Amino acid sequence: MELLRRATRGSRHSKALGKQGFYAQVDLDQGKAYGYAIELMAASSQTSDAREGMAAFLEKRAPRFD
């Protein structure tokens, strides 16, 4: 149950982006996969869920994702 709780916490949107990113880069060579991952992480850091997560951390509260 603890593993399930940890795997499902956080934003659904961030999990979807991560899953899409994995499938997009799984067949790329290592350099291209890393480049893709860097771009995806940079773009993901600008989402409303990312901003909420960072604000919640700084304010020492639980995040409220849409």
Q: Give the Cα separation of 11 and 1 in Å (integer).
A: 19
pLDDT at 66 exceeding the cut of 80? no
* Of 3-7, 33-37, 45-49, 56-60, minimum mean pLDDT range: 3-7
Q: Please list the alpha-helical segments (H only) found in the chain.
A: 2-8, 12-25, 30-44, 48-58
What is the model's pLDDT at position 6? 87
Residue 20 lies in a domain: yes
User: How many structural domains comprise the chain?
Assistant: 1
CATH assignment of the domain containing 50:
1.10.12
At 18-37, the pLDDT tens digits run 899 999 999 999 999 999 99
Q: Which domain holds residue 52?
A: 2-58
Report the percent of the chain where pLDDT is more than 90.
77
What is the model's pLDDT at position 10? 83
